Structure formats: C-alpha cells, structure tokens
Amino acid sequence: MRELLGKYFDYLLIERGIAQNTMESYGRDLRRFISFIQEKKEISDVKGVNSETIIEYLTQIRDEGLAANSVNRALAALRGFYKYLLREKIIVDNPLANIELAKVWMKLPDTISKEEMKTILAQPGGQNNAALRNSAMLELLYATGIRVSELINLTMNSINWQVGFLIVMGKGSKERIVPVGKVAYDCVRRYVDDVRPKLMQKKMTDVLFLNRFGGKFTRQGFWKIVVGYARKAGLQKKVYPHTFRHSFASHLLEGGADLRTVQVMLGHSDISTTQIYTHLTREKLKEVHQKYHPRS
C-alpha cells in the first residue's frame, strides 16, 4: 500500500501539479489511513477495503478528537487516492462511492466591528520607520483580506500601482487579483518610497515588507505586532492576523457585497467556505433586532 501511495504522490506532483503544502496534508492523512489498515489483520491490500472499513476509520479519527473539518479533509484525501486507483485499474469498485462529506457545523470565525478595526489601525501612530511599515501592513491586510502567509510573501511586483490591484499567490499556487483601497494604497506607497529603502540596508531583495534586519517577516513576527496593537487598543477579545481576514469578509457582506465577489477576493475554491460569513451577518441582524425592536 505504501508503494501505491508513493506512485500516487508522483502522479499528484507531476501530472496534477499539486502544491507542496497540499501534498504534505494529503500525505499525513493517507499515511494515517494506511496505518489503520495495517492494524486490521483481515485486510491485506487496498482491494480488501470496503465502505464499512472507511466508515470505521472516519469514526475512529473523529472519536480521537479530530475536528469535523479535519475529518472531511481526511475523507477528501481518501477520495482522491481511490479515484486514482480506479483510474489505474488497480481496483474495480470504489469503497467511497456512497459516502458523502460529513455535515460540518463550523465554528463562526472571530471578527471585530468596524469601530474596533478603526481603533487598531490607528495604533501604529508615529512617523518612524517601524510605525509606517506596520501601518502599511495592517491597512493592506484589512483592505484585501489576504492571509498572513500571503502578506509576508508579497514582492515588489505584487502591486499594480497603475490600477491599484494586488496580485496574490494563494493556496495551491493559485493566483488571484484583489483591489486595494485608497487608504491602504497610500500607506503602502509611502512605505515603499520612504521606509523600505532604509530597511533594505544595501541588501538585494524583492520582498515587499522587510523587518528591521532587512529580511522577510516571519508569521510569528507579524503575529506579535497584531497582538500588541490589539492590546494597546484596549480590546478585550483576542485579535490575530486571521481576524483581519474574517472581518474583511464580514464587513463587505454587511455593506451589501455579493457572496460570489467575496469568494473570489478571499480565494476560496468552494463558495460553501465563504458562506460561513453569511451566518455572521445574520447574527448581526438578529442582535440589532433584539436591541432596537420594542417587542423583541
């Protein structure tokens, strides 16, 4: 089975061009499944796996405390593997044919209000290099809803200055284009013109946002900046870089943006992932109704 798995990974890498992160994720899920199969003495190879085996496996990893999203991801990895086995005529029947993705009741993402966001964005304050750079990073994060990993990997070629668009390389090496608002555009422009040349310290790099040593930010380094400003702003709730992405989506939908547009800007391949934010807007409507309606 491990030999088949190796061939499957070669197929994903060479023919499908799957991104490294996705490969690692699939690898963890499928190796865990193979370990589960090897513990069952009555199953000698992939042909001995049936739908009952799959359900037993999914039940076991769920009972071990794996989140619903992770169980679904494990099932998706298995589905791809068995489709490959069918394609290569290694098996005749697909044991996953009648198994649907489990219903996932996702935890609503943490967001902050527009007023709270405004307070955090005001925290860098001063005119020193670090403050101007941090302000540019925070404004761009909120203006575009990009992930922190996407932010720190931006290069000087990522921004189209003529039309005000950001070119982002997202998950699975998928490129998308996101508009940049005027405030964020002006902040990043000032950083590039006045601050970045000083931070470069004669180094040759095309990384857009540089740390004080002239190198690329780490996720943890930027995480500390966000957490520090949230604390400085006096917010009681926890705020992380991903909170900016969640708030970006929520605020757009609250303002009347359509779901499909938000999906494109977030880079979600499946609109069902974006739909989680519609729950947030409904919760907001309910909150307003209860607060202001005389009979609520």
Which residues form the catalytic set?
Answer: 147, 171, 242, 245, 268, 277
The answer for 145, left when phi > 0, alpha when psi is -120 to 50, beta otherwise, is left
Question: How far from 147 is each of 73, 123, 144, 156, 296, CA to CA, in Å?
Answer: 20, 21, 9, 17, 38
Q: In what order do the strands lie in the sheet with 159-160?
A: 159-160, 165-169, 175-179
Q: Which residues face 216 on adjacent strands?
A: 210
* CA–CA distance, 1 with 67 (Å, rounded to integer): 26
Residues 163/213, Cβ–Cβ less than 8 Å: no
* CA–CA distance, 129 with 94 (Å, rounded to integer): 59
